[in-house]
Amino acid sequence: MAILTLTINGEQVSGKDDESLLSIAQQHGIKIPTLCHLEGLSDVGACRLCLVEVEGSPKLFPACTTKPKEGMVVSTDTERLRKYRRLIIEFLASEGNHQCSVCVVNGHCELQNQAYETGLTHVTVPYLYPKKTLDASHEHFIMDRNRCILCTRCVRVCHEVEGAHTWDLSGRGIACEIISDLNQPWGTSESCTSCGKCVLVCPTGAIIEKGEGVSEMEKKTDFLRYIVTARQKREWINVDSDEE
């Protein structure tokens, strides 16, 4: 492990070579918007919201999966990035049913919050209204694929933390969706332990508890850092969640 020095938004910062740009930025109080990233899970760069500019390259890099290099010059908040971030939210909105007024997590939704952050007044691309399914076969929970943004937090928490790997991805492009086991109703899954971790890490109203009304459900992800800290450090303590 080596300590590297780099520049983020004109500020000299240092970080370890095995950390992500996102992690280094966060440690220095530099806010980069995220959706698929969640402290305690691996990073996959699925949502592209954390894209940053690196001097010397015309490409954009997802901060959550990009490692630092000595002397790297990074920009996290340019007009170009703000435009792309707004467009990402617009694409997500146009490819599902994200009508907040009839959603159980209205007011507590990470997609909704990012829409506010990016100043999204309206969606400029045409809405596609794809046909997506809702699976209410589980005894306690519902998977509403209309509200899914394919961040894969549920897939990762189920595989990495619960160890069940009930969830996975199927299909490509607009046909891509989250499936349980061998693409069967969730209620018939043999691997699901009904632990509910996927429900809590889901950033939108895609995986929800049954019986909740509009705006009633607030997701708490603190449990994840508690579990991960306990496993990695053998410390059974609640970690402050004020970092983000």
Here's the x/- map for other proteins, 55-94, by CB under 8 A: it reads as --------------------------------------x-
Task: Answer yes or no: are the C-beta atoms of 142 and 208 closer than 8 Å.
Answer: yes
Nearer to other proteins, 116 or 236 (CB): 116
Q: Does 211 sit near other proteins (CB under 8 A)? A: no
DSSP code of residue 5: E
Interface with other proteins by CB under 8 A: which range of 4-12, 34-42, 121-129, 231-239?
121-129
Q: Does 213 sit near other proteins (CB under 8 A)? A: no
Q: Does 234 sit near other proteins (CB under 8 A)? A: no
Interface with other proteins by CB under 8 A: which range of 40-48, 51-59, 81-89, 120-128?
120-128
Q: Does 122 sit near other proteins (CB under 8 A)? A: yes
Residues 6 or more apart whose CB falls under 8 angstroms from that of 197 comprise 157, 158, 161, 162, 223, 224
Full DSSP string of 54-83: ETT-SSEEETTTPPP-TT-EEES--HHHHH
Q: Which amino acid, 42?
A: S
Task: Answer yes or no: are the C-beta atoms of 229 and 239 closer than 8 Å.
Answer: yes
Query: Pick from 12, 57, 121, 232: which binds other proteins (CB under 8 A)?
Result: 121
End-to-end C-alpha distance for the chain, whole angstroms: 25
Instruction: Catalog residues that contact other proteins under the rule CB under 8 A.
Output: 93, 97, 99-103, 106-107, 112, 115-116, 119-124, 126-127, 129-132, 215
